[in-house]
Amino acid sequence: MRRRVLLAAPLIASPLLLPAAGPASAQPAGVVLEEFLVPSGPGIQLYLRNKRPEGATAARADRVVLCVHDGTFPASTTFDLPAGGVSWMDYMAGRGFDVWSVDLRNYGRSTRDAAMAQPPGGQPLTTARDALADIAAAAAFIREKRGVPKLVHLGWGWGASLMARFAVDNAALVDRLVLYAPEWPAEAATPQGSAPQSNGAPGAAGPALPSYRSLTRAEVRARWVEGVPDNRRGGLFPAGWYEHWADTTFAVDPEGARQVPSVLRVPNGPLADLQAGRRLFDAARVTVPVLITLAEWDREAPAAQALALFQAMAAAPAKRMVLLGEGTHGIMLERNRGALFQAVQVFLEEGLSG
């Protein structure tokens, strides 16, 4: 296993010493880990993780994947959590893929705005506009570093909507699109395809949201299992998996970890989008091959809304929707995560037109 931590600006990398990340504690044989800090706007550094096969040769656009997280948890502790010894990134890398994840600003090990260290107030942080700028910066760095014209874009939850918006605006830069549990409000509060509003702008529904919110482990666990039948909740996670994820995720917020009880501070920009019912992209303008996948107990991305999104993607040259049994919005960290991994891998590996 090889592990390096680099500071990129924008492609000139120099060594940087960072504290060891929890998910990097043990890598499968033959998988290389590298870490980067990539600039995205004044004062913003994005934390990128990369897993790829050791000894990999020239990169292929259809084998380079960028993963973006949902509106609550960072990518580095979800896509690369070695539950059972193997993370989703490990799984893809073990099948010959060059896999990247990015923590958007105010998440994980990326830069946090000064407002995150103050009592919550002001406007919601990490707006869709900010997040799209971060995705563009991360994707541009990867394309240049690997020498490929485009990438596979994979997003989870709110991140799936962001990745779809990026594909609408930059179709030539996207090989194919994986939307895992995409958020797709039943009714659009703003015209589809319009520029994302600054969260908290006029027209937002519900009470004004502060800059961020703090979640305890108990609150996260209770929210996670909503929608799961009572008699199935005990078997949702293999023993120790949830605790391992919670320990790793809460540890990347040192300020929150010092509180009693410990909390995870989460920017409210994504929640403002959700409460306002904003559709961040026009589904009819998606023109790359796309996979939608979600689980039956997902309260964040109900199957009926995912089906409406699927049907609206009339311009996609190839599209597929896969509904997975016995899982929630976070199925990639649950007992049945293998079904998700396999469904996505089939889509990634097959020849598609587009």
Closest CA to 108 of 239, 328, 274, 256: 256
Using one digit for the tens of pLDDT, what is the confidence trace for 316-347?
999 999 999 999 999 999 999 999 999 999 99
Which CA distances in Å does 334 have to 13, 107, 110, 338, 346? 36, 22, 26, 9, 20
Cβ-contact 74, 103 below 8 angstroms: yes
Percent of the chain with pLDDT over 70: 86
pLDDT of 189 strictly over 60: no
> Taking 70 as the threshold, does the pLDDT of residue 13 lie above it?
no
pLDDT at residue 207 above 80?
A: no
What is the pLDDT, as a whole number, of residue 320? 97
Q: What is the pLDDT of residues 55-80, one digit of tens each?
A: 877 889 999 999 999 999 999 999 99
Q: Which tokens hold the place of 281? A: 């992209």
Q: Parse the chain into domains and list their residue ranges.
A: 31-185+210-349
- Residue 285: per-residue pLDDT: 98
More confident site: 201 or 170:
170
Are 135 and 127 in contact, with CB atoms under 8 Å apart?
no
Residue 110: what pLDDT?
A: 98
Strand-strand pairing, 319-324 and 45-53:
unpaired
Most distant pair of Cα atoms in the chain: their distance: 54
Q: Answer whether residue 5 shows pLDDT above 60.
A: no
Question: What's the pLDDT at 208?
Answer: 86
pLDDT at 86 over 50: yes
Say what the pLDDT of residue 190 is: 46
Distance CA 185, CA 302 (A): 10
Confidence of residue 202 (pLDDT cuts 50, 70, 90): very low
Separation in Å, CA 147 to CA 11, 88, 285: 12, 24, 27
pLDDT for position 200: 33
Reduced to 3 states (helix: H, G, I; strand: E, B; else coil), residue 240 is: coil
The predicted model scores a pTM of 0.88
Question: What per-residue confidence (pLDDT) applies to 191?
Answer: 39
Q: Which pLDDT belongs to residue 19?
A: 35
pLDDT per residue over 14-38, tens digit each? 233 333 334 444 567 789 999 999 9
> Residue 283 is encoded by which pair of tokens?
């589904």
CA torsion through residues 302, 279, 127, 122, sign: negative
31-185+210-349 folds as Rossmann fold (3.40.50)
Strand partners, 294: 323
Half-sphere exposure of 103 (CA within 13 A, CB side): 30
pLDDT of residue 8: 40
Over the stretch 247-298, which tens digit does the pLDDT of each residue have? 999 999 999 999 999 999 999 999 998 888 888 999 999 999 999 999 999 9
